[in-house]
A and B are shown apart, each in its own frame.
Chain A
Amino acid sequence: MTHFVDIDEVSVSYNLGEPPVLEGASLQMSKGEFVALVGPSGCGKSTFMKLMSGLLKADQGSVVVANQEVTRPLGNVGMAFQNSVMLPWRTTLNNLLLPLEIARPHRETFRQNREAHANKAIELLSSVGLENVAEKFPWELSGGMRQRASLCRALIHEPEVLMLDEPFGALDAFTREELWCVLRDLWQERKFTVLLVTHDLIESAFLADRVLVMSNRPSRVIMELEIPFKRPRDLDIRFEKEFVDIVHQLRDQIRTARAA
């Protein structure tokens, strides 16, 4: 069976003559799978993500997404980062519509369909608990609200792949837990393929089907762990013994990875 995402033995270095950031790194994902990527900071997780989205070219190895060799950005991905990077001169609604102004095939017909798009955006906003912010500017929103909106922007064009780079890293613990549930429910409903980069092991185990651990530079995936809990998962699962065991296992792995 061919995988939906198949990254095979890629190596990347940013500067000539420097040791590579990634070396022989591989990753397979099936369609609709939720994969979390953890590893020591600076090991190349964000680099891995850029590679998969086509923002960066591998020196060696191949990247295939949806049976297509990725050589440039494909447009069928949505991205969100720790920093919500909204355009401060646009309302939340217009920030959400931005991907539709850019990505094909929407951009050609954006003007004609603007109203339909706007309705969809408002619907999406309410599904993450943001009913009345469409006309508000980003600076009028709290950090958690901005991050919800940023998730919506990543999903508005119905991408097949969602890439999240430490999206909840800057939030307080309560808001973070709320947003875990927001993401869980969005995924449950839409079943896009997710790659979530995080440094929070509990987050990775709570949300993902599979957690991958990366090694220090030159980096590759050194271990993967299936997360067996059935879905939909409840926040309280975090306090069950099996869950705690898995988190401990991940922590040990990362400790070994850092020492290596």
Chain B
Amino acid sequence: MPPTDYDVVIIGAGPAGSTTARFAAASGLRVLLVDKRQELGAPIQCSGAISRHALEQVGIAPEAEFIHEAIYGFAIYDQHGDREVHDYRRLKPDEYGSEPGKKPLGYVVDRRRFDRYLMTQAERAGAEVWLKTEGLGYRPEADGYCTVSLRRYNQAIDIRTRILVGADGLQSQVGRWAGLQTHIKITELAGCLQFIVDRVETEGLLEIVTGHEWAPGGYAWVFPKGHGYAEIGLGVIATMTDRPARWHLDKFITQSFFRERFADCRILEVQGGGVPLAAPLRTQYADNLILVGDAARHVNPITGGGLHTAVAGGKIAADYIIGHLADGLPLQDGALEGYQRLWLEELGDKMWKLYGIKTDIFHNMNIPERDRQLYATMADYFSPTSEFKKI
């Protein structure tokens, strides 16, 4: 009998966990992927914007099953409604468009279907997947492996594994099990609320509205959601306002320069969540354990986007695990530090740089000046010449 039940146990079947599971299982490792939910992705806590490049990079085909709508560019607004548009259908007409032979820049995906699709791919690659299964804790053992405690349909189960991956999202408990410093500062977690609406026109662009007036500490957005629907949302930093996100979203809808555009809107769904506009965790590994995705705060601190970094990070985590286990290296006493180094090299260093840019903007206490900086930074970030185009 092998000394462990699995080589890798992954807690959380979001984009990060399922991508890690898919690559690890495809290499022949024995992988168990668990999620406490009954339906992945639900309730939705995400707007679903992801670039085509991000999908391609990790071998995810753009399937109709999970795509709400194709995206061709960005429109960035200042607080008065002046805007800068980067429409790739005009910038690179030979490459981007909806006509045959041309492609979109990205997609707005349905997280319920997207997450289920990614889980299915992991399953088909050979991973075992258990839904309705909550991770409760883990214990590194003297023999170099570890025991993970799960609860599945009320039944307590202990599993022995070589590596545990915490892919349990923003509310991550796995890092806390290992005593890692996972706390997010209140000044760096945006409280977000969004409505899926009918009767708001969109133009195949992700629209981003900056300005303290509308979203103190964050920004507001209008995304196309397919079938003629749109998504209106915003995120705010609690220390920059006395009001909850909901109050700001009502104000944005009824008082902003978009009030006429939104005048007839009908709310079809209400969603929300927290977005860390924070630095990645300084330590993302412990004995037998690594963290990936939101659990490691792998989120772009300028845009709040975490889907690209979740799937890209999932691949990095899997590549690392495959190599490390194949070499039969130790798993405890700092032995997994190489994961973090690999991640920093491939993604993290750029994210630290973005964190620096973001921090400089929000440390400016002069609001009109800060508004100008944020608008300029966002407009530049999404431009075709941006050095960060690929995150």
Q: Do A and B form a real pair?
A: no
Query: Which residues of B pack against A, CB within 8 Å?
Result: none
Query: Which residues of A pack against B, CB within 8 Å?
Result: none
